[in-house]
Structure 1
Amino acid sequence: MAPQLGKLLLLLGLGLAVLGAFIWLGGGSLLSWFGRLPGDIRVERPGFRLYVPLVSILLVSLLISLIIWLVRRLG
């Protein structure tokens, strides 16, 4: 079981590195909508700023759940 877990962690790490490089090199403009979705709470007042990205976090959770489901289904 350990070799399979090692391969999975390596693939996830490489995927995160590719995604990070993509955003860092200017591809982040494609993701500019992320964090500004309807349902994300933003309150700005003088001396106070509150930001709660509810819908964005739900979207990330859904994506991660889908990836885990696919890995379990295919593996």
Structure 2
Amino acid sequence: MFQSVGKILMLFGALLFIFGVIFLIADKIGGKVPFIGRLPGDILIQKRNFTFYFPLTTSILVSIILTLILWILSFIFRRH
């Protein structure tokens, strides 16, 4: 039992480290990841005193990526 918990904690630690590196790099290249939030299908409405932004395509893409990651993790940990 403790081995599987240890593996999960190490995996989350590695993921946090990777995301931390991505955020540090993104901060140095202008504070934004170049493709996030500017995909075709993201909704942007600008009026004089009003701006509405809804990242529809970005949300769908993030959802698909997270679903695949969680599916792979559940497949890996189900076999052991």
- Cα pair distance change 1:28/1:59, threshold 3 Å: farther
Larger Rg: 2
RMSD: 2.7
1:51 alignment counterpart: 53
Q: What code does the residue aligned with 2:45 have?
A: V
Cα distance in 2, alignment partners of residues 69 and 53 from structure 1? 24
Unaligned runs of 5+ in 1: none
Taking structure 1 as the reference length, the TM-score comes to 0.74
Post-superposition Cα deviations, 1:2-44, rounded to whole Å, max 9, x if no partner, equal 7635642552244133223323233678931111111100011
The DSSP-based 3-state class of the residue aligned with 2:37 is coil
Cα distance in 1, alignment partners of residues 49 and 33 from structure 2? 28
Cα distance in 1, alignment partners of residues 58 and 73 from structure 2? 23
Percent identity of paired positions between Structure 1 and Structure 2? 35
Unaligned runs of 5+ in 2: none
